[in-house]
Amino acid sequence: MKSLFLSAALPVLILAAGPALAESAPVDPAAASATNPPPHFPRDLTPEGVKAVDDHLALEEVDGAEARAFVAASNEKALAALTGDRRYEPFRQQAEAILTATDRIPGVSFLGEGLGNFWQDAANPKGVWRRTTLDSYRSNRPQWETLLDIDALAKAEGRDWVFKGANCLAPDETRCLINLSDGGKDAVTVREFDLTTKTFVEGGFVIPEGKHRLTWLDRDTLLIATDFGPGTMTESGYPFIVKSLKRGHPLGHATEVYRGQQSDGGYGVLPMVFRDKAGAVEAVLFSRPLDTFRSETWRFVDGRTYKLRIPERVSIYGMLDGKLVFTPEEAFSRDILGYGGGPAGALMVMALDSLHDRPDGSRPVPSHFASQAFVPSPRQSIADVAVLSDRLVVAINDNVSGRLSVLTPQGEFPWTATNIAVPANTAVGLGDSSKSKGQVFVSTQGFLTPPTLSLADVSTAALTELKSAPAKFDASTHVVEQFEATSTDGTKIPYFVTRPKTLAMDGTGPTILFGYGGFQASFPPAYKPEMGKLWLENGGVFVQANIRGGGEFGPGWHQAALRENRQRAFDDFAAVARDLEQRKITSPRHLGIYGRSNGGVLTSVSITQHPELFNAAVIESPLIDMLRYQDLPAGASWIGEYGDPRIPGDAEFIARYSAYQQLRPEVKYPRVYITTNTRDDRVHPGHARKFAARLGDQGHDHLYYEDTAGGHSNDADPVANARRWARHYVYLAQQLMD
């Protein structure tokens, strides 16, 4: 199953460090640490040894007195430098106008006989959940019916509620489970809501705050994995037990139906209920994560569970007429399934009944229906799949640009593919789909092309445009190009450049380089209106690097940079920076980098390994202390990606790059901007705080700002989000343009 995500993209910068530093050969961090270790590099790499030399442990206490004082002092300095800049207020106003604009495309999902939408603007910064009809939505002025006003609810209850989505029971979808987060955290409170009365159900389902994994089984039953008390959560803070909860019963009376183990990794056991077009249950599955990417898949039927004989690395999309639709993310063979397998990254369709043993323990006769619906080429990957009642809709990344295809089974094995025309050099995304209607929402967008939302009818393979977003910046001044850089091991790394048409190729282009490189997350072309307005319109260059660790070319592209091979992602990123310099698009003085979440690993390592390449770095909501990340919630869930620092061999390769331990007082680093959020319960704010504190200890100029709300997704409030983007771009302009 795909994970962590996340998101965003920004500039790349180079530090003016003088001729000697700028022309020096890249430093091998392992060799440097061995001959002259940094002052805070632990000689003892055990968890105890790492902790013993960490002089900023107090900053890991989210609301500790020392941490609060550090944040207050840092925020005062950062706000003076950023909000005091003459560009801040224009940037803030422009960003807020974009993020609260009423001419944005309202993203919709099927909701009963109509369409549902969650909407935020200046009048409703917390947002309203609302619905309309398809015919009304097609019009220029849709008529919306408010279902739930989050601003009014938060005011009435005195809570900082953030809407985190709704799960409505098919087929009528009149009863919904509403997810409400306090301040934007991942943890949510769940309440049952009635769409017919537009009120919370009196005596209905209410699940207290937690990182739940739950879904409807029927109108009076939930399948729920949550904190059931002591000993029911993994070390990552996620549930490993699934119970059946009946209406009117307290959580303590729920009946256990599946149990993993407390040592499980990943994001907690996930119950999945797949339904046919009439809303009847086709299959109930449980995904039990063994680590970040490996999981066992179990089928729940007639009160018993059966383990499926499919690979542990797998993405499951749904059920098609009694057959499981999935992508193995590792090659599997006849030896595993007893019949035809498939390559990693292929789209497979196999009869569910023949994937597990019978109740008497006997193995079923191999199914004749086991087919490869689509096999990507080496420079392709499956971006998303919508499972309809009799066919599949597949969004494909083809050399990091989007394609769209409808796959229809013909007889037992052959599949026919009907391509649906989409604009060239754009990203293609699938939205919500309806089996009963045979329709799926499709979005297209590019770096300079605003999003368009269309509705695909799979029976005719026709794409009907519903909404097209207006341009939010002048794209006529820029052009998009795709290049390749050669990484250290010879691998070709694609990247996109969005630059002024008139850019003087003399190395002076102020450039933001964005990268992520983890968790099999792909980054195709995307319209970033705030970036276009605040950066491109001011003559900036934006670069997006599709480095290894992502999913742009399938699971192999991701797995090439896992664990002990993480350095490949950093090398890929540095190779793109050098290629930009060789093409004279930019130079270290004018190159800045941006990354958040896992991208914070990338950016913090990049400035410690290659300070000569960059003059700015926005390091947002980051992982940085990679020798203690497993002890900071919810770090242990990512061990499959990075390795386990508690294991000596893993600690050794992680220590070679972990930026918190690799900082050196004698090295000239760019003036970086580190930012996070106190209520981020996905990536602990201690990472960012400690890195900023150590930079200060060593005398390195830097900025650190910590917001008080918003969560990891920064989606709580568009007005606050506008201030966030304004701070980012003021900093980047100071470093790269001034």
Pairing of strands 401-409, 304-307: unpaired
- Rounded to an integer, what distance in angstroms lies between the CA atom of residue 174 and that of residue 168? 7
- Rounded to an integer, what distance in angstroms lies between the CA atom of residue 158 and that of residue 153? 8
State the catalytic residue, choosing from 3, 244, 443, 597: 597
Q: What is the biggest distance separating any 2 CA atoms in the chain, rounded to whole angstroms? A: 75
Say how many C-beta atoms besides its own lie within 10 A of residue 302's C-beta.
6
| DSSP bridge pairs for 310 | none
Pairing of strands 591-596, 511-514: parallel
State the catalytic residue, choosing from 590, 610, 684, 712: 712
Scanning 583-632, the segments in alpha helix (DSSP H) are 598-609
Secondary structure class of 544 (helix, strand, coil): strand
- Rounded to an integer, what distance in angstroms lies between the CA atom of residue 605 and that of residue 691? 11
- Rounded to an integer, what distance in angstroms lies between the CA atom of residue 510 and that of residue 538? 10
Is residue 131 within 8 A of residue 178, CB to CB? The reply is no
First vs last Cα of the chain: how many Å apart? Answer: 44
Residue with tokens 């002591």: 230
Is residue 376 within 8 A of residue 384, CB to CB? The reply is no
Give every CB contact of residue 522 below 8 A, 6+ residues apart in sequence: 381, 383, 397, 400, 546, 550, 551, 552
- Rounded to an integer, what distance in angstroms lies between the CA atom of residue 481 and that of residue 651? 40
Q: Does the active-site annotation cover 436? A: no
- Rounded to an integer, what distance in angstroms lies between the CA atom of residue 626 and that of residue 687? 9
Task: Report the side by side order of strands in the sheet with 255-259.
Answer: 213-218, 221-225, 241-246, 255-259
Is residue 33 within 8 A of residue 43, CB to CB? The reply is no
Give me 243's structure tokens.
């119970």
Kindly tell me the burial class for residue 139, based on how many C-beta atoms sit within 10 Å of its own C-beta (0-12, 13-18, 19 or more): exposed
Say how many C-beta atoms besides its own lie within 10 A of residue 490's C-beta.
6
Say how many C-beta atoms besides its own lie within 10 A of residue 575's C-beta.
22
Helix (H) or strand (E) holding 729: helix 718-736
- Rounded to an integer, what distance in angstroms lies between the CA atom of residue 364 and that of residue 355? 8
Q: Does the active-site annotation cover 597? A: yes
Scanning 309-444, the segments in alpha helix (DSSP H) are 334-337
- Rounded to an integer, what distance in angstroms lies between the CA atom of residue 286 and that of residue 295? 10
Secondary structure class of 670 (helix, strand, coil): coil
Secondary structure class of 190 (helix, strand, coil): strand
Helix (H) or strand (E) holding 189: strand 188-194
Q: Exposure string (b/e) for 367-381, b if CB count within 10 Å is 16 or more?
A: bebbbbbbebeeebb
- Rounded to an integer, what distance in angstroms lies between the CA atom of residue 229 and that of residue 226? 9
Is the backbone peptide bond immediately before 524 cis, with ω within 30 degrees of 0?
Answer: no
Amino acid at 719: V
Secondary structure class of 175 (helix, strand, coil): strand
**DSSP readout, 680-712?**
-SSS-THHHHHHHHHHHHTT--EEEEEESS-TT
Give every CB contact of residue 13 below 8 A, 6+ residues apart in sequence: 511, 512, 513, 588, 589, 590, 591, 592, 593, 614, 615, 616, 617, 670, 732, 735, 736
Catalytic amino acids? Answer: 597, 712
